[in-house]
């Protein structure tokens, strides 16, 4: 829609993302978000009722990234390999930016909500990758792999790197070796 209200909402989400990535979830209050966005208390609360709501909006947005919109690409009949390459590029880029990792914030957020919410988000990722790999196999572009196995490896190796890149310094070669592994499993 692009109205002023939408733009402010987007701005809150973007600003908060950086704050949560840097500080985790627990340490951050609505007051911190007010300060960072320079919105009044009333202004902020007219968009979100809590840091939990803001964080959930961030998670939803992460799931809607263009490179991760496999469903739309598949509907257009795009090559599975092309869709995969775009996703791997995005993953590599994200893994190379440990400062943007939400791992700690997600961990802490989970301590504050019914776990069902996070399982829902996890399921989105699982379903997305499952459908892409099945699509690639059906088109003869991907090897006939055990889909569930590869999906688990992709999801958790990515999360492991996202988390550990905040603990130790990782080289771009490490990230590339991981995307290369995923590519080799799938592409004929």
Residue 52 in the binding site for a copy of itself (CB under 8 A)? no
| Minimal distance, residue 161 CB to a copy of itself, in Å | 5
Residue 181 in the binding site for a copy of itself (CB under 8 A)? yes
Distances in Å between the Cα of 82 and the Cα atoms of 25, 86, 175 are 35, 6, 19
Provide the mask over 108-137, with x wherever binding to a copy of itself is found by CB under 8 A and - wherever it is not: --x----x--xx--x---------------
- 3-class DSSP state for residue 97? coil
| Minimal distance, residue 31 CB to a copy of itself, in Å | 22
Q: Which helix or strand (DSSP H or E) is residue 111 part of? A: none
Q: Encoding tokens for residue 63?
A: 């799931």
Among 106, 132, 133, 186, binds a copy of itself (CB under 8 A): 106
- The length of the chain, given as a count of residues: 188
Number of residues that bind a copy of itself (CB under 8 A): 35
Residue 174 in the binding site for a copy of itself (CB under 8 A)? yes
Q: Which of 49, 31, 52, 53 is nearest to 40 (CA)?
A: 31
| Minimal distance, residue 65 CB to a copy of itself, in Å | 19
Q: Which of 48, 55, 49, 53 is nearest to 23 (CA)?
A: 55
Distances in Å between the Cα of 74 and the Cα atoms of 15, 61, 84, 133 are 32, 20, 11, 11
Among 36, 62, 155, 187, binds a copy of itself (CB under 8 A): 155
How far is residue 34's CA from residue 40's CA, in Å, rounded to a whole number? 6
Q: Which parts of this chain interact with a copy of itself (CB under 8 A)?
A: 103-104, 106-107, 110, 115, 118-119, 122, 146, 148-150, 152-153, 155-164, 166-169, 173-174, 177-178, 180-181
């Amino acid at each position: 829609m692009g109205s002023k209200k939408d733009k402010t909402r987007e701005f809150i989400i973007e600003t908060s993302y950086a704050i949560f990535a840097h500080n985790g979830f627990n340490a951050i209050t609505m007051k911190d978000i007010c300060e960072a966005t320079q919105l009044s208390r009333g202004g902020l609360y007219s968009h979100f009722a809590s840091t939990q709501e803001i964080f959930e909006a961030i998670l939803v947005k992460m799931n809607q990234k263009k490179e991760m919109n496999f469903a739309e690409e598949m509907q257009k009949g795009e090559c599975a390999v092309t869709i995969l390459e775009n996703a791997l590029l995005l993953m590599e880029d994200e893994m190379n930016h440990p400062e943007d990792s939400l791992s700690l914030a997600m961990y802490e957020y989970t301590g504050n909500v019914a776990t069902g919410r996070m399982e829902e988000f996890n399921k989105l990722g699982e379903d997305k990758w499952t459908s892409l790999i099945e699509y690639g196999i059906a088109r003869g572009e991907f090897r006939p792999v055990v889909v569930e196995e590869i999906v688990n490896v992709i999801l958790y190796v990515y999360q492991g790197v996202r988390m550990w890149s905040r603990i130790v310094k990782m080289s771009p070669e490490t990230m590339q070796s991981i995307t290369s592994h995923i590519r080799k499993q799938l592409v004929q």
